[in-house]
Amino acid sequence: MSEGAAKHFDEMTGRGDGVRSPYFAYRSWFEAEDPARLKHKAAEAETFFRRMGITFNVYGEADATERLIPFDVVPRIISGREWARLSRGIEQRVTAINAFLHDLYHRQEILRAGRIPVELIAQNDAFLPQMIGVKPPGGVYTHIVGTDLVRTGENDFYVLEDNARTPSGVSYMLENRETMLHMFPELFSSVAVQPVSTYPRNLRRSLAACAPANRANGTPTIAVLTPGIHNSAYYEHAFLADQMGAELVEGHDLQVVDGRVAMRTTRGYQPIDVIYRRVDDDFLDPLNFNPSSMLGVPGILDVYRAGNITIANAPGTGIADDKAIYSYMPEIVEFYTGEKAILKNVPTWRCSEKDALAHVLDNLDQLVVKEVHGSGGYGMLVGPAASKKEIAAFRKKLEARPGNYIAQPTLSLSTVPILTKAGLAPRHVDLRPFVLVSPNGIKITPGGLTRVALKKGSLVVNSSQGGGTKDTWVLDE
Amino acid sequence: MLGKTAGGIFWMFRYLERSENTARLVDAGFRIALTRSATAEKEWESVVATAGVRDSYVERHGQFEASAVIDFLLRDRTNPSSVLSVIAQARDNGRMVRTALTREVWEAVNECWMTLNEVLSRPVRDRDLPAVLAAIRQQSALVRGALHGTMLRNEIFDFARLGTFLERADNTARILDVKYYVLLPSLSLVGSTMDNVQWETILRSVSAYQSYRWVTRGDPNPRDIAHFLILDRRLPRSLAFCYAKISNNLGYLEADHGTRPQSHTMADARFHSFQNKPIDAILDEGLHEFLSGFIADNQALGAQIERDYRFHE
């Protein structure tokens, strides 16, 4: 893709050579800075991350060395006003998602009303029949949501994905801010930035508020369930458990004892009340789901159905962020909230539909085609960036299993400058704010994880594909 | 705390202790081999035997030659007790029990791993060996310093200390056992020539060369050395010191948990069996018998602690 300055909306400079108001203070600070010092700071940040062990493992790479997600020292800045509108939109969407999930697993009004095709749910692996009629403690399905947003203009934000299963990246949001505070303390005294550091405490409170009514412990005992140290997001699991003062457990630490989920401590088995699980539904319970799973707890779903444990997020929430369901989100928002969706949906062609498939096949070089169940930027085609050969190969896959794909236009994603050897240079970004849902309401941490495609012109921001991250500032205005 | 976490901490500190002990053994072996090239091969053999990896070494290298032994003990990843292997294990354990460690301890063990991976990335040349061994000891000391300076004195700390002292007691007993013949009062029994260099090696292997001079007068003699390493409670690597610590730490766990499982009885029985025994009695009954019995009991104690505190399912 070409990178014409006027083509993309740049969040620092808009579409011209000026500076947008949220960046006024930062830009004047930047211009007074010695470029050599900034480069030195950028190198310092890398050492800092390595020493802290903020690393991840890449699936499928032959050598198991740990990698860092590159960090860029230029913050992404959002005004208080912009944020207020975004938060309203996210809150509306997350409210609708929870209502949708409750409905799907109970009366299925939305299916009866014919707003969503029944077969889209019935034949979907992400829909768990085991959850039908189950009431999650606190009435919450998606305790933690990471809504992926992209921006294309001054007032144009789109939701790219809802991430209602086990969104990751929040530790980077927190560590990126820590790193910035550590490196540029003076910046924060001249620019009023809303803090993000309350997230772990809010997460703990929010999980505790969803503990079962008949819980085993007065103050709910919370555990983070991780697949273990070889998981790519293990750093985050340990980080969150540590920050919340929760236990970090693996499946083999847990067992069902007297109708409760209990952890093996040095004093014997002790019951826990809330599990923040970072393993997928399928691996959660070998008795009820994938029998070969070593990561889960045999029988945990039965304890859950009896109302004796909170699982966050609830099993079966994946149906709400399924890429095939995504295209129906505007209807879903309207159906449950009675309002028009504040945040836009990216126009989506469902390749399972004959006409849509024909359109997609005719326009592969213009579209982004994604697997319905894929994630992490794997198995997708970015048409405008792909070679003829790649497009031809993808066409075969698409024709073989059209139901497996959706397609979207390539959005003209906004850019934010990064620091390169030659100074500031615009790169495409997305944004994942983190949302906490509890019976007491919805809390959205001001900011989130900004992922940035470090390669010039690239639209792929995933860390597994060469993307980096930035600190994200929401101004206190 | 989780049983798995207790086990992770316990082994993390066993591994760190082992890395330091291995560095010390290599150091002592290197010295003696430099000064007595005629018996160098025999000295390296006893170093490998003390490290408890004789069989796997012989399978891989056959001859006990300095550079092969040093590489096997410091860098060989197929040797699970090599410094590189145990440091990687300690750091993996640190990651696993991250929520039980202060940020300082975690950063120290992570830094230890990064530094030693760098230092040991290539075969170590003779002239670099002293600096490399110093780095190993220093990194392990930094983790210990962070542990002492920042950790709560709770059961997490107790398991860290239990791992340290079980490993250390095992190490000291092995050093003595491999060299026990030079300490026997009646040398004619094994037909070896006793000399100062051998004693020095033993003392250096437990960083006690200086302190031995501080606490004894006159020429070193085998009886005093055996007494010092087995019974002297002032020496932080003596068997008596390690068992006093083990006993204390189990005592804290007992106070904390309100229970006294089997391992406590075993540790106390072991400690009582030798703490007030005169060294002459131990030598009379047979030093080798005493040491091999000690090593076996020490191993059994470790296994019992693992069961009592539910390290595994």
The nearest CA of chain A is from the CA of B117 a distance in Å of 12
Residues 6+ apart with CB under 8 A from B293: none
Same domain? A154 vs A129: yes
- Would you call B99 and A250 a contact, using CB atoms and an 8 Å cutoff? no
pLDDT tens, position by position, A409-425: 988 899 999 999 889 99
- Would you call B95 and A234 a contact, using CB atoms and an 8 Å cutoff? yes
Same domain? A77 vs A37: yes
Residue of chain B minimizing CA distance to A227: B96
Is residue A123 domain-resident?
A: yes
- Would you call B2 and A229 a contact, using CB atoms and an 8 Å cutoff? no
For an interface test with A, which of B98, B115, B157 has the most A Cβ atoms less than 10 Å from its Cβ?
Answer: B98
| Chain A hits for B105, Cβ within 8 Å | none
What band does A447 get if pLDDT is binned at 50, 70 and 90? very high
pLDDT of A163 > 90? The answer is yes
List, as ranges, residues 146-165 from B with C-beta within 8 Å of A. 155
pLDDT of A326 > 60? The answer is yes
> What pLDDT does residue A63 have?
47
Return the percentage of chain A with pLDDT > 90, whole number: 77
The boundaries of the domain holding residue A378 are 349-409
Say whether A74 sits in a helix, a strand or coil: strand
> What pLDDT does residue A374 have?
63
**C-beta of residue B145 within 8 angstroms of C-beta of residue B112:** no
Mean pLDDT score, B27-42: 84
Same domain? A320 vs A403: no
- Would you call A253 and B1 a contact, using CB atoms and an 8 Å cutoff? no
> What pLDDT does residue B38 have?
77
- Would you call A242 and B1 a contact, using CB atoms and an 8 Å cutoff? no
Question: CA dist A287 to A132, A310, A360, Å?
Answer: 17, 18, 41
pLDDT tens, position by position, A287-313: 988 888 888 999 999 999 999 999 999
Count structural domains, chain A.
2
List, as ranges, residues 294-313 from B with C-beta within 8 Å of A. 309-310, 313
- DSSP state, A136? -
The whole-angstrom separation of Cα A273 and Cα A250 is 16
Top pLDDT among A48 and B249 is at: B249
- Would you call A229 and B313 a contact, using CB atoms and an 8 Å cutoff? no
- Would you call A51 and B4 a contact, using CB atoms and an 8 Å cutoff? no
The nearest CA of chain A is from the CA of B77 a distance in Å of 15
Residue of chain A minimizing CA distance to B310: A266
The nearest CA of chain B is from the CA of A177 a distance in Å of 17
Residue of chain B minimizing CA distance to A223: B2
| Chain A hits for B106, Cβ within 8 Å | 53
The residue among A409, A441, A458 that closes a domain is: A409
Same domain? A320 vs A415: yes
pLDDT tens, position by position, A239-249: 999 999 999 99
CATH of the domain at A385: 3.30.1490.270
pLDDT tens, position by position, A452-468: 999 998 888 887 777 99
The nearest CA of chain A is from the CA of B103 a distance in Å of 8
Same domain? A36 vs A98: yes
For an interface test with A, which of B2, B101, B118 has the most A Cβ atoms less than 10 Å from its Cβ?
Answer: B2
Same domain? A420 vs A324: yes
Is residue A173 domain-resident?
A: yes
With vertex at residue A218, the alpha carbon angle to CA A214 and CA A222, rounded to the nearest 5 degrees, is 85
Q: Is B59 part of the contact surface with chain A (CB cutoff 8 Å)?
A: no
| Chain B hits for A53, Cβ within 8 Å | 95, 106-107, 110
Lowest mean pLDDT across A11-20, A39-48, A88-97, B36-45: B36-45
What band does A385 get if pLDDT is binned at 50, 70 and 90? confident
Same domain? A401 vs A464: no
- Would you call B2 and A249 a contact, using CB atoms and an 8 Å cutoff? yes
pLDDT tens, position by position, A255-281: 999 999 999 999 999 999 999 999 999
Question: CA dist B72 to A138, A146, A435, B62, Å?
Answer: 58, 49, 52, 12
Is residue A273 domain-resident?
A: no
Question: CA dist A410 to A40, A416, A469, Å?
Answer: 36, 18, 21
> What pLDDT does residue A62 have?
45
pLDDT tens, position by position, B173-192: 999 998 887 777 655 444 44
The whole-angstrom separation of Cα A119 and Cα A135 is 24
Return the percentage of chain B with pLDDT > 90, whole number: 80
Top pLDDT among A6 and B22 is at: B22
- Would you call A53 and B155 a contact, using CB atoms and an 8 Å cutoff? no
Mean pLDDT, chain B, integer: 92
Same domain? A86 vs A165: yes
Mean pLDDT, chain A, integer: 92
- Would you call B110 and A250 a contact, using CB atoms and an 8 Å cutoff? no
Burial letters for A185-199: b for 16+ Cβ neighbours within 10 Å, e otherwise? eebeeebebbebeeb
Is residue A97 domain-resident?
A: yes
- Would you call B95 and A229 a contact, using CB atoms and an 8 Å cutoff? yes
CB pairs under 8 A between A and B: 56
- Would you call A266 and B98 a contact, using CB atoms and an 8 Å cutoff? no
Question: CA dist A64 to A248, A294, A341, A463, Å?
Answer: 23, 21, 44, 16
By DSSP bridging, strand A274-277 and strand A222-225 are parallel
The residue among A382, A409, A436 that closes a domain is: A409
The nearest CA of chain A is from the CA of B142 a distance in Å of 14
Q: Is B99 part of the contact surface with chain A (CB cutoff 8 Å)?
A: yes
Residue among B4, B98, B114 whose CB faces A242 most closely: B98
> What pLDDT does residue A3 have?
42
Is residue A241 domain-resident?
A: no
What is the torsion angle, in degrees rounded to the nearest 10, for the CA atoms of residue A13, residue A14, residue A15 and residue A17? -30
> What pLDDT does residue A318 have?
94
What band does A5 get if pLDDT is binned at 50, 70 and 90? very low
Same domain? A388 vs A439: no
> What pLDDT does residue A58 have?
62
The residue among A357, A381, A409 that closes a domain is: A409
Mean pLDDT score, A380-399: 91
- The pair of structure tokens assigned to A464 is 């597994």
What band does B160 get if pLDDT is binned at 50, 70 and 90? very high
Mean pLDDT score, B209-214: 90
Same domain? A403 vs A445: no
pLDDT of B201 > 90? The answer is no
| Chain B hits for A248, Cβ within 8 Å | 98-99
- The pair of structure tokens assigned to A243 is 């920050």
Residue of chain A minimizing CA distance to B261: A267
- Would you call B110 and A265 a contact, using CB atoms and an 8 Å cutoff? no
- Would you call B6 and A266 a contact, using CB atoms and an 8 Å cutoff? yes
**C-beta of residue B99 within 8 angstroms of C-beta of residue A242:** yes
pLDDT of B269 > 60? The answer is yes
Is residue A95 domain-resident?
A: yes
pLDDT of A172 > 90? The answer is yes
Same domain? A207 vs A356: no
Mean pLDDT score, B119-135: 95
| Chain A hits for B102, Cβ within 8 Å | none
| Chain B hits for A253, Cβ within 8 Å | 2-4
Top pLDDT among A377 and B11 is at: B11
Is residue A362 domain-resident?
A: yes
Mean pLDDT score, B98-103: 95
Same domain? A362 vs A328: no
Residue of chain A minimizing CA distance to B112: A51
Mean pLDDT score, A161-165: 93
Residue of chain A minimizing CA distance to B257: A267
Number of C-beta neighbours around residue A24 at 10 A: 12
* Residue A361 backbone phi and psi in degrees, to 5: -60, -35
Is residue A259 domain-resident?
A: no
